[in-house]
Structure formats: C-alpha cells, structure tokens
Amino acid sequence: MEGTLMRSDLELPGVERVYRGKVRDVYHLTDGRTILVASDRISAFDVVLPRGIPHKGQVLSQLSWYMLQATKHVAPNWAMASPDPNVVVGETADTVRVEMVVRGYLAGHAWRQYKAGHRALCGATMPDGLKENDRFLSPLITPSTKAEEGHDEDITPTAILKQGLCTQDEWETMCRYALALFAEGARLAAEQGLILVDTKYEFGRTKDGRIILIDEIHTPDSSRYFYAEGYEDRQQRNEPQKQLSKEFVREWLIAHDFMGKEGQQVPTMDDAFVQSVTDRYTELFERITGQRLIAAPTEDMNGRIQKALEGWLG
C-alpha cells in the first residue's frame, strides 16, 4: 500500500491557530488567510476510521478546487490558490453555523423521512405520490445546524432566525447562492453524464460582513451523484440507482455490523478494501471532472506540503 497523510504538522510563519476536523487540518494565519489541508483520513457515522485512504485527500482537495473555480461566477467563495495537490488556501471567514443542504431528488435522509410518513422536512414541503429517488419539481433547501461534534440536526428557517444563527438578509443570500450553486453543479454533472442528487454548502462571514462560500463543494464526501444513463429505466423498474458517493463505504461498514453506535467495533479494513476505496475516489474525480487524476508522490507528504507552502507564502 502507498503512504497516507493521516495528520499534517506544518511549521509556517504567522499561524494563529490550528483546527483538526475529521478529515481536514485547518491553519488560520494572522494575515487573514486560511490553509486547508485535506488528509487521507476517512470518516463514516461520525467516526474517523483507523486506516487512511491513499490519494483521498488529493481527490477531495483537487476536486473541490476545480469546482470552486468553476462556480465562482455564481457565488463568491473563499479560495485563492492550490499550491499543493492536498491544499487549498483562501480567505478566512467566520463560519455561519448552518449547513445549506440542497436536495434535487428524494433520496437519503429525505427519503427516510418521507417513508416514515413525513411530508415536511426542515420547513420544506415534499409532495405526495413520490417514490425513492424521484426528482422534485424544484430543488429543496433543507438546512441543518453545523455541530462542533457529533451529528448535525435538522432545523427550520424560522428556528435559524429565532436562534440568531444568521440574519434575515444573510439567510436570503445563502438561499440564493445555494440554489445558484446547485443549478451550476447540476449542469456540470450533466455534461459528464451524471445527476447531482443532493449536496451541502457552508458559508462564512468575512471581516467586512460579506457572505462567501467556504470549505469544499460538490465532492463525493459532501454530495450524492447518480449516473444519468439508465436513471429513468431504473426508476420505472423500482431498482436502486447507480450512484457515485461515499455511500459505498457506509454500506461496507453496515454489512460488517458497524454504524458508529456505542459498543460496536470498527471492522478491519484490509489492503484490498482500502485499495478499492482509492480506486472509487479516483473514479469519482475523473468522472466528475472529465480529467485524469495524476497521483501526487506519497513519500514524506508532510514535507512535500511544507515545501510547497513555504514557496507560495514567499
């Protein structure tokens, strides 16, 4: 197996604070810039799995950079540069603690709620008479709170405003940006024979009060894609849709009796499974972008990133 980046330890000038999430290491600089390093860690059910996935961080970082550049004309975003395959550098912004989940199809969490008899989700109405993976007449925004730890929680726009998570103007801006981004993401996906099913967007406030898109966008960790070819036939036959997302990892874990619940043991990820995850992430990148992934060197990845950032920071 190739090497993986499970943790970055960068020594850079002007680092104010470092935050380590489930997958990313975030370095905030005193000059108002943020360095986001995508590690090869992989999480599922809010648990970081013990083994890293070679090139996963590169896939997420490069795909996110590609999509941030491809959509910046419809919504302003934080990204400035990508000096290393695992790194995006951009403008620092205070996170708005609301995740803007946009759903074009009745899948995943929305389908589970629908199947249980609910027709309202986070303030959005889902019409009667639908089946799993049917398309909504227009995309729905179903926000959730962005939790520091554990699971995000569904929330309505009314509750968001009542709790002071954002202002009315900020909410309207985020809705406008989220729908525009989803429409552009769906168009880009269609060009590659894919359907953008659902995704989430995160926004932040800049020092001068602007709302901008932050974090990743349209990656397999934040989005669900279906293959367009055969979609209608599969729906008519009530067959599962063929999809590109991280769902296959969750399915493997469930099949091995793990869903992140107390007392459950994380199953052993052997070399063959880890390689299969790398292959799937590579396929995701190449299918979504239409570009070939050129694998970055995996020896001394921390040193490689350190050198690249030193050169970029000047």
The whole-number pLDDT of residue 147 equals 63
Whole-model pTM: value is: 0.91
Query: Angle at CA 160, nearest 5°, toward 157 and 166?
Result: 110
CATH number listed for the domain at residues 15-92+269-313:
3.30.200.20
The whole-number pLDDT of residue 284 equals 86
- So where are the chain's domains? 15-92+269-313, 94-244
Residues 103-139: tens digit of each pLDDT: 999 999 999 999 999 999 999 999 999 999 999 999 9
65: left (phi over 0), alpha (psi -120 to 50) or beta: alpha
Best-predicted range by mean pLDDT (14-28, 148-162, 234-248): 14-28
Q: Provide mean pLDDT across the span 235-251.
A: 88
- Please compute, for residue 104, the number of CA atoms within 13 A of its CA located in the half-sphere on the CB side: 21
The whole-number pLDDT of residue 46 equals 83
CA 153 to chain centre: 17
Q: Provide mean pLDDT across the span 247-264.
A: 89
> In this structure, what token pair is assigned to residue 206?
């800049």
Please state, rounded to an integer, the average pLDDT across all residues of the chain. 94
Residues 4-13: tens digit of each pLDDT: 999 999 999 9
> For residue 1, what pLDDT band results from cuts at 50, 70 and 90?
low
> For residue 152, what pLDDT band results from cuts at 50, 70 and 90?
confident
CA 304 to chain centre: 25
Q: Which of 195, 178, 176, 180 is nearest to 144 (CA)?
A: 178
Phi/psi at 102 (nearest 5 deg)? -115, 130
CATH number listed for the domain at residues 94-244:
3.30.470.20
